[in-house]
Amino acid sequence: MKISMIVAYGKNWKIGINNQMPWHIPEDFKNFKAITSGHHILMGRKTFESILSISAKHSSSGVGKPLPNRTSLVLTRGEFKHDDVYTFSDVQEAFNFARANAEEELFIIGGANIYETLFPYVDKMYLSEVDYDGEADAYLKEIDFSTWDLTEQKDYDAILNEDGSVKTPAWKFKVWIKKD
C-alpha cells in the first residue's frame, strides 16, 4: 500500500488557523476531492471535527458528516467515537485496517501533528503551495525536498475581485515521489 500525504500550505509552512484553512481555493478543493475519492483518508481528531463543522454549515439538517466517497480513519489519543468513521489510537492499526480493506493508496490529510508524526511513512506527496502570508496557528514541518523527485507541477494565477483585492491567491500544485 502506498502512503501519500495531501496538504495545502502557505508561506513559512502555514496550514491553518483556528482549525480551519486560512484561504478558500475552490479549484484546490476539487483537486483534493478528485485525488482522494474512493480511498481511505487518515486524519487526526481535530481535523475530522473541522470537517464536521464545515459540512454542518452546508447541510440543510445542520448536522456535519464525513467527506463523501471516502473511508475516514481518525487517529485519536482519547475515547473519541463517531458512527461514520473508524477510530484508532495506534497508527499501525490504521495502516493494517486500510491494507485489510485492499486500499492501494492511503491519504494522510492532517492536521499538523499527524503530518509530522506520519511523514516518515510517506511515499508520495500532493502539495498545494499557496501564496499566503497571513495569520496562522498551525504549521507543517519544513520539508527537505532533496530526497524527493518532482513528477508534476501546475501553476495557478491569483483571481482578483473587481476592486483589485485578492479573491483567490495564486498557488502551485506539485506531486513529489520519494527517491529510492
Q: Which CATH number does the domain housing residue 168 bear?
A: 3.40.430.10
Helix (H, G, I), strand (E, B) or coil at 152: strand
Question: Apex CA 154: angle with CA 113 and CA 180, to 5°?
Answer: 60
Q: How many domains does the chain have?
A: 1
Pairing of strands 124-130, 2-9: parallel
The answer, yes or no, to whether residue 58 has pLDDT greater than 80, is no
The answer, yes or no, to whether residue 61 has pLDDT greater than 80, is no
At 83 the pLDDT is 86
Question: What is the Cβ-side half-sphere exposure of residue 59, based on CA atoms within 13 angstroms?
Answer: 13
Q: How confident is the model at residue 122 (pLDDT cuts 50, 70, 90)?
A: very high
Distance CA 65, CA 87 (A): 15
pTM of the model: 0.94
Range of the domain at 107: 2-178
Tell me the average pLDDT across 54-76: 86
The tens digit of pLDDT for each residue in 87-116 reads 999 999 999 999 999 999 999 999 999 999
The answer, yes or no, to whether residue 60 has pLDDT greater than 80, is no
Mean pLDDT, the chain, rounded, equals: 95
Instruction: Please list the residues that pair with 124 across neighbouring strands.
Output: 4, 177
The tens digit of pLDDT for each residue in 133-153 reads 999 999 999 999 999 999 999
Pair 64, 82: CB distance under 8 Å: no
Sign of the four-CA dihedral 66, 70, 71, 77: negative
